Structure 1
């Protein structure tokens, strides 16, 4: 694994720490301001829309990759400063807008498209790509574990303390972006439009990813935190502990995913692990007790993100190098955009039929798994 890939994984780590912490505390922060579950769901929807606009805008920005990344880091850091030095609902929204912050709890930012493209360029072989993307995604969930652990240990409603930590970490993104050389030459020589075979592949995958993302939008981190708060009245400290376990389990599974992909192949690893995960997702509300709901959620996480490094490696192999930034941006816009209705629908369902959030989300995602397997079961690596 190249040093450049390691440094970009560090960037992923600090960004994911911030995004996880913000996603978990948002339902508690906004409910303290008097918002209902439906209102909080609407804010999560707004955050997804803003993040989608960021991804689309920065994919076509006419500046080199390094300056693009430095601008993104500057805006992200500025948004954390606003959260730290201000309070209230409207300035919270301003911070979301300036930083392009998604409240999904996952790093689906404009940074990610350029980082993935760069890693796919640095790593020469399929095996090294599989490993590099596993480490890259592992860093995300390792960061999520640490962020959740701090919430569990500190367990206070002093949100400014959390925002201070987020500000310091957000500023650390400048280190890797200033230290490495981005593959500017390939990006400059990329054609403005997809060729016909690539366009066909991008469209097909976009439809599939849209379905998966719509189901995922119903169960993003903020929605899960909101559901457990609404149904079981858990505290911020309890939520922190729950997400510590979730992220630790997920981080371990990400590393195992690389080994499985080498043995089973990318598509089978993606599909088999995802179906198991979504079965447990559907089971979360079935038993009507906090402990059993949490156990089902933890079991879900054992395979929930095993498809992510495989998907990253698959996309950045099946798509030619000159089209990867544009295609990664396209897929991220599709995934973010398709998540938009989810939190709003989830907020409404939590107030009316809470269990249906997991039934609907898991069912849609299983349908995606089946269609992906049917479409690419004969893919040769």
Structure 2
């Protein structure tokens, strides 16, 4: 991939995550200040995630045929529309807030939502060799964590400054963050227009008939454009990701900030600092995930870095002071995101290259749909003061996910792991010095072997 395209993707990732981080900090506070009770607050955040899921599904299924650049630009346009609605003067009704949340690409957590990541990672996977993918995704995520952290910190400082130095109301100060959100989406759209044609899918990638001719008439395809073998892999994996996503959505970044405000009376600048430090810690720790995955395997890295963080999640509401609670949050973030890059590399490496955009999009849609239920549950539980139960449910379900993932997929190897095993075997045979080994893209034969393992 030309350096220009890589720079543009990292720049737009940074702009987007800065915007998501800033809105993730204040969204729940903004909805509360708009007069919504906790149950309606949770409902708006649920609608935001449902809208993200619908947009992601439509965009990722069409992207390889209509054009990836065009779909990225459409996502930016929807963000601008949502920002304009949220920033309207006065107190907005529940239904208008729900509309903006549903049609716009809004992140209740401060993390990635919408179609952008699936498209960008499909582009990166298309251009990078499998052996470089996990490390590349780790750096891609570091840019996201650092930008989200900066956005949260900036929003906290901005809101406090607008209220204390300029006399704005809390509601109007939050609306300023949405104006900033729209401006950053506009800047990201301008960057996307500079992408080269190299980011688009190969001519055959969006054409099911061409794929069938290339792979042979025996390859049967699902209605979503995936082969039956891919669906045999994707269905159980998506079910596990759905469980993890639902559990994580019970305590999003915005809801965590809301908990600290309700429990300890924390200021907006303190909350911004909390999320800033948490995301910076997560970003720094994720850099080691590529090395760990190369040494111990993708699934093992996903599971054994994730399990301890879930125990820490359960402990947060038992902390009596804001200092102790913050320390547990920092410890949790030091390991909780180390599974992200290995997971992304694993998904990209167990399906054929031509199906990656659709696969990543479908996985993101499943996760968004599952995550849409969490804020609704938390909204009802928070209204009755059941925060301890929410944290326990979040951590407990994530532990179940980790154990189920290890049991179901611990024996499955992605293309990069297969290539590594082939390299070791060839080295023993004396072939390595002849330069005969390259990390192959996953072919139908290896792909079928993975599917057969899962069916058995």
TM-score interval, smaller chain: over 0.9
Kept after mapping to 1: 8 A contact 2:49/2:102: no
Q: Which runs of 5 or more residues in structure 2 are unaligned?
A: 161-169, 212-223, 418-456
For residues 356 and 163 of structure 1, the distance between their equivalents in structure 2, rounded to whole angstroms, comes to 32
* Residue in 2 that maps onto 1:373: 406
Query: How big is the shift at 1:133?
Result: 0.7
* Residue in 1 that maps onto 2:82: 79
For residues 32 and 85 of structure 1, the distance between their equivalents in structure 2, rounded to whole angstroms, comes to 14
For residues 79 and 310 of structure 1, the distance between their equivalents in structure 2, rounded to whole angstroms, comes to 32
Listed as ranges, the matches of 1:347-366 within 5 Å are: 347-352=379-384, 353-366=386-399
Query: How big is the shift at 1:37?
Result: 2.3
**Pairing 1:329–2:361 present:** yes
SS in structure 1 of the partner of residue 317 of structure 2: coil
Listed as ranges, the matches of 1:209-358 within 5 Å are: 209-352=241-384, 353-358=386-391
Query: How big is the shift at 1:155?
Result: 3.9
How many residues were matched structurally?
A: 380
| Deviation digits for residues 120-168 of structure 1 (CA, Å, limit 9, x no counterpart) | 1011232x11121111111111111111221333342322432232222
Tell me: CA distance 1:187–1:255, structure 2 relative to 1, closer, same or farther (3 Å).
Answer: same
Kept after mapping to 2: 8 A contact 1:2/1:123: no
Listed as ranges, the matches of 1:165-184 within 5 Å are: 165-180=180-195, 181=197, 182-184=199-201
**Pairing 1:111–2:126 present:** no
Kept after mapping to 1: 8 A contact 2:251/2:391: yes
Q: Which runs of 5 or more residues in structure 1 are unaligned?
A: none
Query: How big is the shift at 1:2?
Result: 5.9
| Deviation digits for residues 269-320 of structure 1 (CA, Å, limit 9, x no counterpart) | 1111100111111111122322111111111100111111111111111111
Kept after mapping to 2: 8 A contact 1:83/1:163: yes
Kept after mapping to 1: 8 A contact 2:281/2:333: yes
Query: How big is the shift at 1:208?
Result: 0.8
**Pairing 1:37–2:42 present:** no
190-199 or 310-319, larger mean C-alpha shift: 190-199
For residues 35 and 159 of structure 2, the distance between their equivalents in structure 1, rounded to whole angstroms, comes to 20
Q: CA RMSD in A?
A: 1.9
Tell me: CA distance 1:225–1:105, structure 2 relative to 1, closer, same or farther (3 Å).
Answer: same
SS in structure 2 of the partner of residue 373 of structure 1: helix
Kept after mapping to 1: 8 A contact 2:48/2:104: no
* Residue in 2 that maps onto 1:123: 128
For residues 48 and 256 of structure 1, the distance between their equivalents in structure 2, rounded to whole angstroms, comes to 30
300-309 or 180-189, larger mean C-alpha shift: 180-189
For residues 172 and 260 of structure 1, the distance between their equivalents in structure 2, rounded to whole angstroms, comes to 36
Q: Which has the higher contact order (CA 8 A, sep 6+)?
A: 1
| Deviation digits for residues 317-348 of structure 1 (CA, Å, limit 9, x no counterpart) | 11111111111111111101111221111112
Which residue of the other structure, out of 88, 99, 102, is the alignment partner of 1:97?
A: 102
359-368 or 254-263, larger mean C-alpha shift: 254-263
Q: TM-score, normalised by structure 2?
A: 0.79
| Deviation digits for residues 185-221 of structure 1 (CA, Å, limit 9, x no counterpart) | 2532355632222110011111111111111111111
78-87 or 105-114, larger mean C-alpha shift: 78-87
* Residue in 2 that maps onto 1:153: 157
For residues 346 and 269 of structure 1, the distance between their equivalents in structure 2, rounded to whole angstroms, comes to 29
Kept after mapping to 2: 8 A contact 1:45/1:344: yes
